[in-house]
């Protein structure tokens, strides 16, 4: 019983981690339709902002703010300088943002060196509940992930701003005719998505190696989650993360991590074949 | 041995350095008009460095280079070899990429006319360039721990093999921490061959393997495996998961509170891992190395002091620096013994015994691998501390 509970908790934790990591992707890739190859590097910048803040003796919550704001600003700059010029050229965005990712990664290597950096975990004592011992930081990640996802969905679906964002995405031309500043909203959306990637990096930094190559690790399952769930719908990310994250974690617990990766990736191929727009995808 | 998941990137600085080296090479070879004898006497002996300086494994490339550079400087300061000929390094970046490694190796040999090539780090790159150095009949000097089995007249390895690691550490851990062992590693050849050796040794010492498991490259969440380790009640986890994934694993292992109940032995762990971990995370991780800067031996202290003098007090002095210094030393001694920089002569004269950073190291004539002195270490307060000095381990011939 205890083991089933732990496996369930592990799976839930990985699902929520993936959700946290892909929430920025949902906005930039899912809604704005930009394949942002630099997303992993935005995540990386977030993680390195923890290193920087801790170097100056700052607390973890400050790193969360710094990570979000700094990466949102980087995202804004990237949008203005690069992405805004090529929204209508999907393939070129891949190449351009890949270039951005190389620049960011090399800049990190120049400033911090290629080695792993030290990050102090905020909550170290394991939590005890229902007869289980579980790392308290993982519980914190789950909580934060739920909160951030809720906030994002509320902003997108329950505020005027969210309405404008969705309006611009649905029909840029018409939104412009109705008096919305589409360029400004694009910038804001891209910055928000980038900032969320940075925040995810901050939160994951204590649990993984903080090095210049770390961005890739969550980039692939993140993209996969968004594709499986349905790129057009933010709720799809929940489905995608659930399927990819839950599948990976549970199969790894029953069989081995190698088998789980094979099964989950094959499953994703089948799902995308049957639902080309993802499980919750709408036709576009 | 380490994993890498980076894309190859163009490093402009290395490109310029390589370009500069090419320029220097052309300048030397264009000094026509001199009588041949005189030219040979003045011409430096070139040694190609084919290590990663970008693409994900640059950390190890940089440290290896540190070893080579120190030896070259020492030899040149002492007046060079073969009657005053200087040593010259020609540095090429293999970008942690097998394809690039082959291109760079061909360039070093054919364009730069090096007498030997040092490198690479990863097994995949070494296997990729092996046919090239055999075809072009140039020594490849490899100085990283690996899975064993390379038997080529043109390759010499200053490498801890699975036997060097497993024979001392596994019995020590079984004796001190318990009999139930969980094996976990990355899914490629080095961990799998390590685990073959581990299983063999565990059986001999009355231990029991409760599970043997592998993970794909770049996995970032190990909670499923950690739960299983806890569930099996294993006394020891033996890890063969090099690089960033290993750092991630230690962080999560420590956060799960497993370190108290299940001792972690990490093959390939060394000083490079410590800056990426807090002392709480790394405390108690056991490993085995052939060199550590904390060794209380005169040659170790001397080696560390020389490295610090050349690269600053904060320089990382890991076994990559020691092993690359060591293989370069064997190369220089071989030229001295042969009295020539002829490549066949160099290979023939490589075997011998040298004191590098930890006791005398014997490079064997039959398979061109080394017998190394090993020590068991444990991480404590972000430092490796010596637990037990094991001494010389002789691995079986790799040409069997």
Give residue-wise pLDDT tens across range A23-64: 888 888 878 888 889 999 999 999 999 999 999 999 999 999
Interface test with B, best of A217, A224, A247, A258 (most B CBs within 10 A): A217
Q: What is the pLDDT of residue B127?
A: 95
**Residue B4 in this model has a pLDDT that exceeds 50:** no
Cβ–Cβ gap A207/B278 under 8 Å:
no
Residues on chain A touching B251 (C-beta within 8 angstroms):
121, 206-209
Q: Are residue B232 and residue B258 in the same domain, yes or no?
A: yes
- pTM above 0.90? no
B223: closest CA of chain A, how far (Å): 6
Q: Are residue B167 and residue B154 in the same domain, yes or no?
A: no
Domain of residue B331 covers 12-160+299-368
**Range of weakest confidence among A153-157, A200-204, B14-18, B377-381:** B14-18
Are the CB atoms for B198 and B183 separated by under 8 Å?
yes
User: Does B294 reside within a domain?
Assistant: no
A-contacting residues in B 199-228 (Cβ below 8 Å): 213-216, 218-221, 223-225, 227-228
Distance of CA B328 to the CA centre of its chain: 13
**Residue B90 in this model has a pLDDT that exceeds 50:** yes
A282 Cβ contact partners less than 8 Å away, ≥ 6 residues apart: A230, A232, A233
Q: Is B245 on the interface with A (CB under 8 A)?
A: yes
Please name the residue of chain B whose CA is at the shortest distance from the CA of residue A212.
Answer: B56
What is the number of domains present in chain B?
2
Residue corresponding to tokens 């008096």: A179
Q: How many CB atoms lie within 10 A of CB B127?
A: 15
Q: What is the CATH number of the domain that holds B205?
A: 3.40.50.2300
Interface test with A, best of B96, B223, B246 (most A CBs within 10 A): B223
Q: What integer best gives the mean pLDDT of chain A?
A: 89
Distance CA(B124)–CA(B98), nearest Å, equals 7
For residues A226-247, average pLDDT:
85
Strand pairing category for B140-142 and B383-393: unpaired
Q: Are residue B179 and residue B66 in the same domain, yes or no?
A: no
User: Does B109 reside within a domain?
Assistant: yes
B-contacting residues in A 235-274 (Cβ below 8 Å): 248-250, 252-253, 256-258, 260-261
Residues on chain A touching B247 (C-beta within 8 angstroms):
116, 208-209, 211
For residues B15-33, average pLDDT:
45
Of B11, B216, B221, the CB nearest to A258: B216
Distance CA(B295)–CA(A212), nearest Å, equals 31
For residues A102-115, average pLDDT:
91
A-contacting residues in B 258-317 (Cβ below 8 Å): 272-273, 275-278, 280-281, 316
Q: Are residue B193 and residue B45 in the same domain, yes or no?
A: no
User: Does B331 reside within a domain?
Assistant: yes
A271: closest CA of chain B, how far (Å): 22
Q: Are residue B244 and residue B381 in the same domain, yes or no?
A: yes
B-contacting residues in A 109-128 (Cβ below 8 Å): 109, 113-121, 124, 126
Q: Are residue B276 and residue B385 in the same domain, yes or no?
A: yes
B191-233 confidence digits (pLDDT tens): 999 999 999 999 999 999 999 999 988 888 898 999 999 989 9
Q: Are residue B382 and residue B247 in the same domain, yes or no?
A: yes
Q: Is A37 on the interface with B (CB under 8 A)?
A: no
Are the CB atoms for B217 and B186 separated by under 8 Å?
yes
Question: To the nearest whole percent, how much of chain B has pLDDT over 90?
Answer: 74
Are the CB atoms for B162 and B189 separated by under 8 Å?
no
Q: Are residue B64 and residue B201 in the same domain, yes or no?
A: no
Cβ–Cβ gap A258/B273 under 8 Å:
no
From residue A23, alpha-carbon distances to A139, A194, B101 in Å are: 19, 10, 39
Q: Are residue B205 and residue B354 in the same domain, yes or no?
A: no
For residues B375-393, average pLDDT:
94
Phi, psi of B237 (to 5 degrees): -110, 125
Residue corresponding to tokens 């010029």: A85
Phi, psi of B183 (to 5 degrees): -100, 130
Of B5, B220, B272, the CB nearest to A208: B220
Q: Where are the domains of chain A?
A: 9-115+130-212
Q: How many CB atoms lie within 10 A of CB B38?
A: 10
Q: What is the pLDDT of residue B22?
A: 44
User: Does B400 reside within a domain?
Assistant: no
């Amino acid at each position: 019983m205890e083991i089933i509970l732990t496996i369930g908790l592990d799976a839930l934790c990985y699902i929520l981690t993936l959700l946290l990591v892909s929430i920025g992707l949902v906005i930039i890739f899912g809604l704005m339709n930009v394949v942002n190859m630099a997303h992993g590097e935005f995540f990386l910048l977030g993680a390195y902002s923890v290193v920087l803040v801790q170097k100056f003796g700052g607390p973890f919550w400050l790193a969360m703010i710094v990570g979000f704001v700094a990466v949102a600003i980087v995202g804004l700059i990237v949008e203005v300088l690069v992405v805004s010029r090529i929204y209508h050229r999907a393939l070129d965005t891949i190449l351009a943002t890949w270039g951005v990712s190389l620049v960011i990664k090399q800049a990190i290597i120049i400033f911090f060196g290629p080695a792993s950096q030290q990050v102090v975990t905020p909550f170290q004592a394991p939590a005890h509940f229902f007869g289980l011992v579980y790392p308290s930081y993982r519980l914190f990640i789950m909580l934060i992930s739920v909160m951030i996802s809720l906030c994002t969905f509320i902003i997108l679906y329950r505020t005027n701003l969210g309405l404008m964002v969705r309006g611009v995405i649905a029909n840029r031309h018409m939104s412009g005719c109705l008096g919305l500043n589409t360029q400004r909203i694009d910038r804001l959306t891209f910055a928000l998505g980038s900032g969320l990637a940075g925040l995810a990096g901050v939160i994951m930094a204590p649990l993984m190696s903080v090095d210049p190559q770390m961005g890739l690790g969550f980039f692939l399952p993140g993209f996969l989650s968004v594709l499986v769930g349905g790129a057009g719908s933010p709720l799809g990310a929940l489905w995608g993360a659930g399927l990819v994250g839950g599948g990976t974690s549970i199969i790894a617990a029953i069989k081995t991590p190698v088998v789980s990766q094979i099964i989950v990736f094959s499953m994703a191929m089948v799902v995308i074949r049957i639902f080309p727009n993802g499980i919750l995808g709408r036709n576009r | 041995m380490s994993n890498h998941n980076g894309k190859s990137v163009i490093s402009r600085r290395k490109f310029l350095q390589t370009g500069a080296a090419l320029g220097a090479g052309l300048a030397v070879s264009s000094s026509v008009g001199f009588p041949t004898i005189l030219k040979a006497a003045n011409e430096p002996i070139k040694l190609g460095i084919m290590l990663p300086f970008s693409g994900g494994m640059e950390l190890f490339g940089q440290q290896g280079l540190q070893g080579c550079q120190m030896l070259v400087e020492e030899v040149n300061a002492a007046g060079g070899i073969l009657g005053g000929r200087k040593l010259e390094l020609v540095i090429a970046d293999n970008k942690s990429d097998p394809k690039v490694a082959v291109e760079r190796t061909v360039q070093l040999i054919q364009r730069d006319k090096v007498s030997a090539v040092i490198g690479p780090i990863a097994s995949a790159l070494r296997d990729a360039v092996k046919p090239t150095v055999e075809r072009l009949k140039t020594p490849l000097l490899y100085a990283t721990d690996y899975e064993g089995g390379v038997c080529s007249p043109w390759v010499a390895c200053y490498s801890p093999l699975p036997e060097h690691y497993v024979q001392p550490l596994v019995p020590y851990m079984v004796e001190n921490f318990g009999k139930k062992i969980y094996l976990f590693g990355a899914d490629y050849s080095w961990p799998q061959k390590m685990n073959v050796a581990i299983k063999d040794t565990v059986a001999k010492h009355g231990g029991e393997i409760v599970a043997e498991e592998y993970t794909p490259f770049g996995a970032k969440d190990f909670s499923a495996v950690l739960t299983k380790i806890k569930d099996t009640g294993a006394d020891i986890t033996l890890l063969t998961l090099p690089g960033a994934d290993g750092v991630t694993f230690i962080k999560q292992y420590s956060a799960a509170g497993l370190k108290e109940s299940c001792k972690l032995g990490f093959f390939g762990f060394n000083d490079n891992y410590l800056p990426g971990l807090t002392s709480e995370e790394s405390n108690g991780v056991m490993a085995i190395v052939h060199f550590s800067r904390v060794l209380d031996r005169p040659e170790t202290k001397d080696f560390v002091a020389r490295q610090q003098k050349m690269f600053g007090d904060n320089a990382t002095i890991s076994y990559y620096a020691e092993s690359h210094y060591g293989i370069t030393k064997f190369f220089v001694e071989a030229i001295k013994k042969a009295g020539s920089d002829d490549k066949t002569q160099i290979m023939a004269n490589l075997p011998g015994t040298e004191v590098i950073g930890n006791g005398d190291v014997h490079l064997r004539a039959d398979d061109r691998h080394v017998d190394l002195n090993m020590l068991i270490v444990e991480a404590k307060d972000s430092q490796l501390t010596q637990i037990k000095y094991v001494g010389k381990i002789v691995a079986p011939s790799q040409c069997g």
